[in-house]
Chains A and B, each alone.
Chain A
Amino acid sequence: MGNVRSFRWLITIMIASLTLVLMACGSDSGENDEGSAGKSEGGTSEQVINLVTTEEVPTLKSNGQIDGLSSTVMTNLFEGLYRLDEEHIPTEGIAESHDVNEGGDEYVFHLREDANWADGTPVTADDFVYAWKKAIHPDTVSPHANLMEEIANSKDIQDPDSDIYGEVDELGIEAIDDKTLEVKLDVPIPYFINLTAHPVYLPQKEEFVEDQGEDYAIEAEHVLENGPFVMEEWKHDDYWTLVKNDEYWDSENVEIEEVVTNVVKDSATAINLYEVGDVDVVNLSSDFVDLHEGDEEMKTSLEFEMYFLRFNQKNEYLSNVNIRKALDMGWDKEEAANAILKNGSKPIHHIIPEGFSFSPDEVDFRDKYEGFNMGSIEEAQEYWEKGLEELGVDSIDLELLSYDDEQRSTMAEYIRNQLQSNLDGLTINIHQQPNKVKLDLEDKLDYDISYSGWRGSVQDPTYFLEIWESDGPYNWQDFSNKEYDELVEGAKRDLSDPDKRFEDMQEAERILLEEEAAISTMYQSGTARLVKPYVKGFVAHPNTTNSYKWLSIEK
Chain B
Amino acid sequence: MKRYVISRIIFMLITLLIIISFTFFLMQTLPGSPFNDEQLSEFQREQMNERYGLNEPVPKQYLNYLTNLVKGDLGVSFQYDGRPVTGIIKERIGTSAVLGIQSLIFGTIIGLALGIIGALYHNTTIDYASIIIAVIGLSIPNFVFAGLLQYWVGVKLEWLPVAFWRGFEYTILPTIALSMFVIATVARYIRTEMIEVLSEDYMLTAKSKGLSRFTMIWRHGVRNSMIPIITIMGPLVVSLVTGTLIVEKIFSIPGLGDQFVDSILTNDYPVIMGVTIFYSALFIFVVFVVDLLYGVLDPRIRLSGGDK
Which of B21-29, B39-47, B182-190 is the interface stretch? B39-47
Q: Which residues of B contact A238 (CB under 8 A)?
A: 164-165, 252, 254
Which of A56-64, A327-335, A389-397 is the interface stretch? A56-64
Q: Which residues of B contact A436 (CB under 8 A)?
A: 31-34, 36, 265-267
Q: Which residues of A contact B44 (CB under 8 A)?
A: 141, 143, 145
Minimum C-beta distance from B189 to chain A (A): 16
Give the residues from 267 to 308 in chain B that come closer than 8 angstroms, CB to CB, to chain A. 267, 293, 296-299
Q: Is B48 in contact with A141, judged by CB distance below 8 angstroms?
A: yes
Q: Which residues of B contact A7 (CB under 8 A)?
A: 223, 226, 297
Contact with B along A229-264 (1 / 0, CB 8 A): 000000111110000000000000000000000111
Q: Does A42 contact B (CB under 8 A)?
A: no
* CA–CA, A278 and B170, complex, Å: 13
Q: Is A218 in contact with B32, judged by CB distance below 8 angstroms?
A: no
Which of A29-37, A293-301, A519-527 is the interface stretch? A29-37
Q: Does A28 contact B (CB under 8 A)?
A: yes
Q: Does B80 contact A (CB under 8 A)?
A: yes
Q: Is B252 in contact with A264, judged by CB distance below 8 angstroms?
A: yes
| CB-CB nearest in chain A for B219 | A4
| CB-CB nearest in chain B for A474 | B38
Q: Does B81 contact A (CB under 8 A)?
A: yes
Give the residues from 233 to 253 in chain B that come closer than 8 angstroms, CB to CB, to chain A. 249-252
Q: Which of A265, A273, A437 contacts B258 (CB 8 A)?
A: A265
Give the residues from 6 to 23 in chain A that come closer than 8 angstroms, CB to CB, to chain B. 6-7, 10, 14, 17-18, 21-22
Q: Does B102 contact A (CB under 8 A)?
A: yes
**Interface size classification for chain B:** 35 or more
| CB-CB nearest in chain B for A57 | B80
Q: Which residues of A contact B36 (CB under 8 A)?
A: 436, 439-440, 443
Q: Which of B91, B162, B258 contacts A269 (CB 8 A)?
A: B162
Q: Output the residue of B39, B43, B51 with the most chain A CB within 10 A.
A: B39
Give the residues from 336 to 392 in chain A that come closer than 8 angstroms, CB to CB, to chain B. none
Q: Which residues of A contact B102 (CB under 8 A)?
A: 18, 21
Q: Does A43 contact B (CB under 8 A)?
A: no
Q: Which of B32, B254, B258 contacts A440 (CB 8 A)?
A: B32
Q: Is B167 in contact with A25, judged by CB distance below 8 angstroms?
A: yes
Contact with B along A135-175 (1 / 0, CB 8 A): 00011010111100000000000101000000000000000
* CA–CA, A370 and B146, complex, Å: 49
Q: Is B223 in contact with A29, judged by CB distance below 8 angstroms?
A: no
Q: Output the residue of B151, B162, B251, B296 with the most chain A CB within 10 A.
A: B162
Q: Is B150 in contact with A272, judged by CB distance below 8 angstroms?
A: yes
Q: Does B4 contact A (CB under 8 A)?
A: no
Minimum C-beta distance from A163 to chain B (A): 17
Q: Does A100 contact B (CB under 8 A)?
A: no
Q: Is B51 in contact with A272, judged by CB distance below 8 angstroms?
A: no
Q: Is B80 in contact with A56, judged by CB distance below 8 angstroms?
A: yes
* CA–CA, A218 and B170, complex, Å: 27
Minimum C-beta distance from B76 to chain A (A): 9
Give the residues from 124 to 182 in chain B that come closer than 8 angstroms, CB to CB, to chain A. 147, 150-151, 154-155, 158, 161-171
Q: Does A291 contact B (CB under 8 A)?
A: no
Q: Does B37 contact A (CB under 8 A)?
A: yes
Q: Is A4 in contact with B38, judged by CB distance below 8 angstroms?
A: no
Contact with B along A208-244 (1 / 0, CB 8 A): 0000001001100000000000000001111100000
Given A59-B81, A265-B252, residue A439 in contact with residue B38 (CB < 8 A): yes
**Interface size classification for chain A:** 35 or more
* CA–CA, A272 and B168, complex, Å: 20
Q: Which of A3, A6, A237 contacts B92 (CB 8 A)?
A: A237
Q: Is A32 in contact with B167, judged by CB distance below 8 angstroms?
A: yes
Given A25-B98, A59-B80, A264-B163, residue A14 in contact with residue B168 (CB < 8 A): no
Q: Does B83 contact A (CB under 8 A)?
A: yes
Given A4-B219, A36-B166, A143-B37, residue A439 in contact with residue B32 (CB < 8 A): yes
Q: Does B88 contact A (CB under 8 A)?
A: yes
Q: Which residues of A contact B299 (CB under 8 A)?
A: 2-3
Q: Is A14 in contact with B166, judged by CB distance below 8 angstroms?
A: no
Minimum C-beta distance from A197 to chain B (A): 18
* CA–CA, A92 and B35, complex, Å: 35
* CA–CA, A32 and B81, complex, Å: 27
Contact with B along A265-294 (1 / 0, CB 8 A): 110110011011010000000000000000
* CA–CA, A272 and B40, complex, Å: 38
Q: Which residues of B contact A315 (CB under 8 A)?
A: none
Q: Is A29 in contact with B166, judged by CB distance below 8 angstroms?
A: yes
Q: Does B18 contact A (CB under 8 A)?
A: no
* CA–CA, A21 and B97, complex, Å: 10
* CA–CA, A268 and B149, complex, Å: 13
Q: Which residues of B contact A272 (CB under 8 A)?
A: 150-151, 154-155, 162-163
Q: Is B39 in contact with A144, judged by CB distance below 8 angstroms?
A: yes
Q: Is A265 in contact with B43, judged by CB distance below 8 angstroms?
A: no
Q: Does A434 contact B (CB under 8 A)?
A: yes
Contact with B along A465-491 (1 / 0, CB 8 A): 000000001100000000000000000
Q: Is A29 in contact with B41, judged by CB distance below 8 angstroms?
A: no
Q: Does A65 contact B (CB under 8 A)?
A: yes
* CA–CA, A496 and B155, complex, Å: 61
Q: Is A434 in contact with B265, judged by CB distance below 8 angstroms?
A: yes
* CA–CA, A363 and B81, complex, Å: 41
Q: Does B86 contact A (CB under 8 A)?
A: no
* CA–CA, A270 and B155, complex, Å: 11
Q: Is B168 in contact with A29, judged by CB distance below 8 angstroms?
A: yes
Q: Which of A61, A139, A236 contacts B91 (CB 8 A)?
A: A236
Known: A238-B254, A436-B31, A440-B33. 14 other contacts (CB 8 A): A6-B297, A7-B226, A17-B101, A61-B81, A141-B48, A146-B41, A218-B80, A218-B83, A266-B252, A269-B250, A272-B155, A436-B267, A437-B32, A440-B36
Q: What are some 18 contacts across the A-B interface (CB < 8 A)?
A: A3-B299, A21-B105, A25-B168, A26-B167, A32-B167, A61-B81, A141-B40, A143-B40, A146-B41, A218-B80, A236-B254, A238-B164, A276-B162, A278-B164, A434-B265, A437-B31, A439-B32, A439-B36
Which residues of B does A touch, CB under 8 Å? 31-34, 36-44, 47-48, 51, 79-83, 88, 91-92, 98, 101-102, 105, 108, 147, 150-151, 154-155, 158, 161-171, 219, 223, 226, 249-252, 254, 258-259, 262, 265-267, 293, 296-299
Which residues of A does B touch, CB under 8 Å? 2-4, 6-7, 10, 14, 17-18, 21-22, 24-26, 28-30, 32-33, 36-37, 55-56, 58-59, 61, 64-65, 138-139, 141, 143-146, 158, 160, 214, 217-218, 235-239, 262-266, 268-269, 272-273, 275-276, 278, 433-437, 439-440, 443, 473-474
A-B interface, 7 closest residue pairs, ranked by CB to CB distance from nearest: A29-B167, A436-B32, A25-B168, A59-B81, A237-B254, A238-B254, A143-B39
